[in-house]
Structure 1
Amino acid sequence: MTATSESMGETRLDQGPQEVSDRLIASAARLSRNAMTEIDWDQPMDPDLYGCSPEWCTLYGTELWEEMPLEQRIELTRHESASVATNGIWFEMILQEMVIRDQYLGKYHTPEFQWSLIEIADEARHSLMFAKGSDKLVGTSYRPSKFVGLLGKGFMMFARGEVAYGGILVAEEVLDVLQRGCMSDPRVLPFVRTINEIHVLEESRHMKFAREEVRESMKNVGWIRRQISALIIAIAGFVIVSSLHSPDVYANTGLDRKRAMSAKKNNKHFHSMMRGSCVHLIEFLSSVGLLTRPAAFFYRRANLY
């Protein structure tokens, strides 16, 4: 397929939630995978393999990283991978409730409703996959702070339209970035690579649906609503990104929590990796009018822009 025909195909496919849903249902039937059968959960872990590519560790390239022995670096990447996964479970539960609420008393015969059920089922399987992966990696799980948990409940209860699906999209895009960068790295544990590969593959369908829902919601939206929606989505994105790597990972791997958090905050390498990988997300938000100046402030704070 030529570049021109690809472009034409993308234009032809993006015709609205119902048409996109039809194609996603067919894609899910062909390509869905099951980590419960693909992964040998009882296979011992190679002690020399990382939990994520070291370049994607929040401390990589810092003075603290250089001081750490190899075994501690490996352990840190495993805890960070578990933190991203189990905090991902937290947001996937928010996502599931919002999608169910959005389709409550909906048009059950439509492709959009049917796709929504597939997405909810996917997210439940992903959460189980992340939970088992975290247990195998480090034997524990990480959650956001109580305050962030309360914010998540508020977002789950009140977010609608472009705010709900925009928040979903930002969270899924960031998880995609962190996992895509590690899923083909032979230095990473094989079962972690498989988890990342499955999630990246299946979340690509979820992100396509979310983008289409945002486009649909933004049609004929006025200036005031656009400003408010853009800001709420950006704040939600900042909170989600800030919560993915729990400070507890540093204490649990024998590091000084305060020094490690300071190193993470000032790690230009990690910030650059995030910004470079989120270009398409920022471009999409801009294209639908959701990259306002106040919103951009929070994306910069989250090192996504």
Structure 2
Amino acid sequence: MPTLEIDQLLNREQVAERLLDASDKHSFDPDVEVAWDALEDGKWCIPEKLVSLYGTPMWEAMPLEQRLDLSRHEAASTASIGIWFEIILMQLLTRHMYDLDYLSDHVRYALTEIADECRHSKMFARMIRRLDCPLYRPDALVRFLGRFIKTYATTPGAFTATLLCEEILDRMQRQIFPDESVQPMVRDVTRIHVVEESRHIRYAREELARQMRVCGPVERRWTRFSSGVAAVVVAESIISPEVYANVGLDREEALRQARASAHRGETLRWSAEKLTSFLQETGVIAGPIATGLWRRARLL
């Protein structure tokens, strides 16, 4: 084995060993750690500046009660799509592990991450029920694109998709759990998710950088394209258009205003700026097609 590959393998194991140790010290049981009954009148479910319609003419016309209600449904939409993302990520991780050494720390950590994602999905489902909201599913086209990504993504493409889901939500959730204007239950859920997802992000970043160093030109081009498609899927899935109808708004007009909102576009770019900088450095975002897709998603 060439020296470079030996160095990369050792680094991969060293990273996994540290992440396994952190998992032993800082993992949570949501059934115990979340104050599931802590719902208070007059509190947001996400900070108002993160609500998709914030700053639009429709937002200015909405009474406070309806704004709070929209934040509740948008929190449920984000959690619903979070479950869908987690299910895709677990499949990508099992694909990644399939031909690797099952005794390695790298695979042990991948299995640990899958266990984390299972807990997170159950936690999100319980939060949606406590918020008395429906499960918001992506539309048929987005579900098809998700199926495409989980089936045909390259290994670096799979880790890019992982980071897409995790880093965007992570940056938004870091604004939620310290905010005392937000429901205590939601703050508990986001705190757990942020702490445990930080390990997943480190694992995915390390592996993506490693994979992009060694993959061939065809795999690199396909990774760029499929990752751009994933960016569009993620950005357009976080908030379901159905949330607007469920709080008594005109669905199509609300969707139009949200998509035209400069504040919303800036929020999306802000949520992804650390990720897009990293992906440009590693060569995932490069060339007119991939760059165009990321701009189409309003993440760049």
| TM bracket, shorter-chain basis | over 0.9
1:134 aligns with 2:128: yes
* 2:237 is aligned with 1:243: yes
Please provide the CA RMSD for this pair.
1.8
Residue 181 of structure 1: aligned partner = 175
Q: Is the 8 A contact 1:174 1:241 kept in 2?
A: no
**Identical amino acids, percent of aligned pairs:** 37
Distance 2:293 2:141 in 1: 18
Structure 1 residue ranges, 4+ long, deviating more than 6 angstroms after superposition: none
Corresponding residue of 1:154: 148
CA–CA distance in 1 between the matches of 2:100 and 2:276?
31
Aligned with residue 23 of structure 1, among 15, 18, 24: 18
Alpha-carbon contact 2:44-2:71 (below 8 Å) kept: yes
Name the SS of the counterpart of 2:213 in structure 1.
Answer: coil
Structure 2 length as normaliser, TM-score? Answer: 0.93
**Any stretches of 5+ residues in structure 1 without a counterpart?**
1-12
Correspondent of 2:28 among 13, 27, 33: 33
Kindly indicate whether residue 146 of structure 2 is the aligned counterpart of residue 123 of structure 1. no
> Which of 268, 279, 284 pairs up with 1:290?
284
Give per-residue Cα distances to partners, 1:227-266, cap 9 Å, x unaligned: 2211210111111110110000000000000110011001
**Structure 2 residue 281 is matched with structure 1 residue 301:** no
Write the mapping of 1:50-69 to structure 2, written as runs, cut at 5 A: 50-69=44-63
From 68, 78, 83, the counterpart of 1:84: 78
Greater mean alpha carbon deviation, residues 85-94 or residues 272-281: 272-281
| Alignment map for 1:194-213 (pairs within 5 Å) | 194-213=188-207
CA distance in 1, matches of 2:9, 2:66: 47
CA distance in 2 between partners of 1:71 and 1:15 (Å): 55
C-alpha distance in structure 2 between counterparts of 1:222 and 1:110, whole Å: 25
Higher mean displacement: 125-134 or 15-24? 15-24
What is the match of residue 101 of structure 1?
A: 95
How far does residue 224 in structure 1 lie from its aligned partner after superposition?
A: 3.9
2:182 match: secondary structure: coil
1:274 to 257, 264, 268: 268
Match of 1:191 in 2: 185
| 1:25 alignment partner AA | L
User: Is 1:229 aligned with 2:228?
Assistant: no
CA shift, 1:105, in A, is 4.9
Q: 1:150 to 1:271 in 2, by over 3 A?
A: same
Q: Give the superposition deviation at 1:147.
A: 2.2
Tell me which amino acid in the other structure corresponds to 2:188: T
The range that moved more, 241-250 or 217-226, is 217-226
Counterpart Cα distance in 1 of 2:244 and 2:170:
23
**TM-score, normalisation: structure 1:** 0.92
How far apart are 1:121 and its partner, in Å? 0.3
Q: Secondary structure at the match of 2:103?
A: coil
**Equivalent pairs, count:** 293
